[in-house]
Amino acid sequence: MENIISKYKDKGIRLTPQRIAILKFLEGNTDHPAAEDIYRKVRRRYPTISFATVYNTLQTLTEKGDLLEITIDPTRRHYDPNTTPHHHIVCTDCNEIMDVFVDYSDVLTLPSHVLREFKPVGNHVDFYGVCRKCQKKKGGEN
């Protein structure tokens, strides 16, 4: 936590108690929370926190490059404090998301006619699968 504070002291972002709570919740979190998950958790300690604060903070962190927005669930944005390049596998049944730490950048090459139209700046692989819990659930349905 001290590290969080020192990390942001200079970046021109004010460390309010609400922001510190959000940062603490996010730090090391691998659950890929949505804004509402963060709101629910932080509200336990700061009952008057508003969604605007949560969204503002998430946007600020994203702009500073300390948070990634994950667009893999069509119903809501998820956030990932791990900003090292990595990928995700989502359960097609329950939408659980797991990290995939493999660097595919060498093999994800683009054909020249695409490169003629786009200057690539990054990539992200969405894997789809069925998690163990849902495999069991489905097996039981037969």
Partner DNA sequence: CTCTTATATTAGAATTATTCTAATATAGGG
Partner DNA sequence: CCCTATATTAGAATAATTCTAATATAAGAG
Binding site for DNA (CB under 7 A): 9, 13-19, 34-36, 46, 48-53, 55-57, 59-60, 74-77
* Residue 62, token pair as written in the block: 């994203």
> Least separation, in Å, of the C-beta of 119 and a second copy?
5
* Residue 131, token pair as written in the block: 């998690």
Closer residue to DNA (CB): 104 or 128? 128
> Least separation, in Å, of the C-beta of 10 and DNA?
8
Among 41, 62, 85, 129, binds a second copy (CB under 8 A): 129
Residue 77 CA to residue 87 CA, distance in Å, equals 15
7 touches a second copy (CB under 8 A): no
* Residue 21, token pair as written in the block: 């709570």
Residue 52 CA to residue 29 CA, distance in Å, equals 21
Closer residue to a second copy (CB): 20 or 98? 98
Residue 18 binds: one of DNA, a second copy, none (C-beta under 5 to 8 A by kind)? DNA
DSSP string across 53-85:
HHHHHHHHHHHTTS-EEE---TTS-EEES--SS
Residue 110 binds: one of a second copy, DNA, none (C-beta under 5 to 8 A by kind)? a second copy
The 107-126 site mask, x for binding a second copy (CB under 8 A), equals: xxxxx--x-xxxxxxxxxxx
Are the beta carbons of 93 and 130 closer than 8 angstroms?
A: yes
